[in-house]
Homo-oligomer: A and B are copies of this chain.
C-alpha cells in the first residue's frame, strides 16, 4: 500500500475522496479491539516476534495472524522474517500521519 499523503488533515479542509478512502482504510485497521491491543504490544516493545503475540489476548493463532496481516496491509506495521520467526514493528510515519489527520489548525 502507498503511504498516506503528507499532512492530510480532515478537520480543516474538505477531504478529497481519495484521501478519505485511504484514511478510512487505515482507521478501519484500527477499528478492532484486538488489533489495537496487538498494535499496543508491538509499539510498547518496539519490535515483537509474532510468537509473543499469540497468547496474551486469548485469541487463536490464526486470528492473531489475520489481524497482523490487516495491520501490515494497512501499512501500520512492518514485518521481517528471522528464520522461523517473524518480527513486527510499528511504522511510525503512518501513525503520525493519522494523528496529523486528526489535528485542527492552531493558527
- Asked whether A43 lies within 8 Å of B92 as measured between CB atoms, the reply is no
Task: Give per-residue flags for A6-23: 1 if the beta carbon is below 8 A from chain B beta carbons, else 0.
Answer: 000011111101001101
A33, B17: Cβ atoms closer than 8 Å: yes
Number of copies of this protein chain within its complex: 2
Query: Is the C-beta of A32 less than 8 angstroms from some C-beta in chain B?
Result: yes
Q: Please indicate which of the listed interface residues A13, A25, A36 has the most CB atoms of chain B within 10 Å of its own CB.
A: A36
A31 lies within 8 A of B41 (CB) = no
Instruction: For chain A, give the interface size range.
Output: 35 or more
Which label, helix, strand, loop or mixed, suits the secondary structure of the A interface? helix
Closest to A23 in B: B36
Query: Do B43 and A20 touch (CB < 8 A)?
Result: no
A104 at the interface (CB under 8 A from B): yes
Docked pose: A44 CA to B12 CA in angstroms: 5
Which 7 A-B residue pairings sit nearest by Cβ, starting from the closest? A28-B31, A20-B33, A15-B40, A11-B43, A27-B30, A99-B102, A27-B31
